[in-house]
Amino acid sequence: MREAAPRTPRYLELAATLREAILGGAFTGGRPFPTETALCERFGVSRFTVREALRRLEAEGLIARRRGSGTTVQPPSAYGGALHQPLSNVGELLQYAKGSQVSYVPQGSGPLPQAVADLVAQPTPGQWSAFRGVRRHADDRLPIAVTDAYFHEMLGDYIGAIDLAAGTLFSQIEQLAGIRIGKVTQDIQAIAADSRTAADLEIDEGAPVLRILRSYFDPKGTIFEISVSYHPGDRFAYAMHIDVEG
């Protein structure tokens, strides 16, 4: 029996909606940011949900909140117009496609490329189906990422059911196969762009890019997906939200 995929928390969905509106310029020209009460009424959510969503946007540097003066949107110069990727749990990884578009192209199947296997640094046996896609903002500005995604043969026919023009591949696999995530590991490193990556990102060969390697494991500890994304340094920013206990 397939296990149901976990639902993305409502505050993460709200944060993604508000993030897309902010980066899309919805609050320029002096238009004020909605109050907590207005957001509760508009989206039909609790004040806790609104506050958690706003807390994440504040951690990302997209808004500023001050007691007595409400919430204000930070100017684009504060975050350089780059894509902001929040990271505090798997749900936020699934919000990555918001406000951007990508269409993947199949790259064939076979053993995992040795260069990728070396990065994973643990056994990756079997056959892997590969896809490559270039991600852009919805308004078709310069590319913000090129991604190589690999799916293990354990996913069977579900790999062939993926809609390559529908955005994030992982979220589709999660829904199609009903697979449950045990953990996600992530490694980030600055490297020089090779010729192919540079051409896809429209940058010079050798220019610095941020390489993000993600490995997705099922509850038994088996890797079923690996993705390697490359981001130009001036078009991407990470924001991490950490709750301090005690």
pLDDT tens readout for residues 192-221? 999 999 999 999 999 999 999 999 888 888
Integer CA distances (angstroms), 15 to 37, 85, 86, 137, 194, in order: 16, 12, 10, 18, 35
| E strand or H helix that includes residue 140 | none
Give residue 149's pLDDT. Answer: 94
Give residue 47's pLDDT. Answer: 92
Give residue 200's pLDDT. Answer: 94
Give residue 160's pLDDT. Answer: 92
185 has which bridge partners? 215
Q: Which residue has the tokens 């696999």?
A: 173
Threshold 0.85, pTM exceeds: no
Output phi, psi for 109, to 5 deg: -135, 160
Give residue 4's pLDDT. Answer: 47
Q: Copy the structure tokens of residue 228.
A: 């390697």
Give residue 229's pLDDT. Answer: 92
Q: Copy the structure tokens of residue 180.
A: 């449950």
Going by C-alpha positions, the residue among 93, 85, 238 that lies closest to residue 174 is 93
Give residue 150's pLDDT. Answer: 96
> Which parts of the chain sit beneath pLDDT 70?
1-8, 29-30, 76-99, 138-140, 167, 236-246
Give residue 77's pLDDT. Answer: 52
Task: Report yes or no: 135 and 143 within 8 Å, Cβ to Cβ.
Answer: yes
Give residue 84's pLDDT. Answer: 47
Give residue 161's pLDDT. Answer: 92
Give residue 192's pLDDT. Answer: 94
Give residue 246's pLDDT. Answer: 45
Give residue 242's pLDDT. Answer: 52
Task: Identify each DSSP E strand in the chain by its residue range.
Answer: 63-66, 70-73, 83-87, 100-110, 128-137, 145-152, 183-192, 208-217, 223-232, 236-240
Give residue 199's pLDDT. Answer: 95
